[in-house]
Amino acid sequence: MSSYRATLDRIWNSEWGKTLKRKVTLIINSESIKLEVEPARSLLQVIREDLGLTGTKAGCERGDCGSCTVIMNGLPVNSCLVLAVEAEGSEILTIEGLSKYGELHPLQKEFVAQNAIQCGFCTPGMIMTAKALLDHNSRPSEEEVRRAIAGNFCRCTGYDKVVKSILAAVR
């Protein structure tokens, strides 16, 4: 954690910072949730720590790796870069919200079928980025898929299986 971030955390976790909590309403996975959050808390922190939705991963916490990707108002965002107070009233979809009635989403099924999961750390962010792409372009080319996931880092798979999984999910 950067010294700047550590300083902010120290301020907001002090008695002074706790008096500055803001009320926010987030619509997470189709459920309206009312929370009081410190202004400096990221959406990632709220999702993981306050709501216990740990499928969204905390990687670099600088917006470089994409492991914290969620879909906010239809667009993929790095939740580590969005303050929770900025997300007020937003519709947010996390990896936990993809499966319905215990049934995996087609993207999740294809990631398993194509063996696109190695360590699994980047997988939720990859899948959420792919979902946002497919929501806007139901028949992407391989190049469009590769461009869409360019902000998601994976150190295990080499991306070929990830791309195959996304393309297979549209068939």
- Compute the distance between CA of residue 81 and CA of residue 63 in angstroms, rounded to an integer: 6
* The pLDDT of residue 17 is above 60: no
* The pLDDT of residue 111 is above 70: yes
Provide the domain count of the chain: 2
Give the pLDDT score at 156.
85
Query: In CATH, what number is assigned to the domain containing residue 33?
Result: 3.10.20.30
Give the pLDDT score at 34.
98
Query: In CATH, what number is assigned to the domain containing residue 131?
Result: 1.10.150.120
Q: For the residues of 80-148, what is the DSSP string, one character each? A: TSSBGGGGTT-EEE-GGGT-BTTBPPHHHHHHHHTT--SS-SSHHHHHHHHHHHHHH-SS--HHHHHHH
Give the pLDDT score at 155.
86
Give the pLDDT score at 171.
81
- Compute the distance between CA of residue 69 and CA of residue 125 in angstroms, rounded to an integer: 5
Q: Quick one: DSSP state of residue 2?
A: -
- On whether both 24 and 91 belong to a single domain, the answer is yes
pTM summary value: 0.88
- On whether both 63 and 80 belong to a single domain, the answer is yes
- The mean pLDDT value for 101-110 works out to 96
Q: What is the mean pLDDT of the chain?
A: 92
Other C-beta atoms closer than 10 Å to the C-beta of 35 total 17
pLDDT digit string, tens, across residues 126-167: 999 999 999 999 999 999 999 999 999 998 877 999 999 999
* The pLDDT of residue 36 is above 70: yes
| Domain-ending residue, one of 73, 97, 121 | 97
pLDDT digit string, tens, across residues 55-78: 999 999 999 999 999 999 999 999
- On whether both 32 and 93 belong to a single domain, the answer is yes
Residue ranges making up the domain that contains 56: 3-97
Give the pLDDT score at 9.
72
| Domain-ending residue, one of 46, 69, 97 | 97
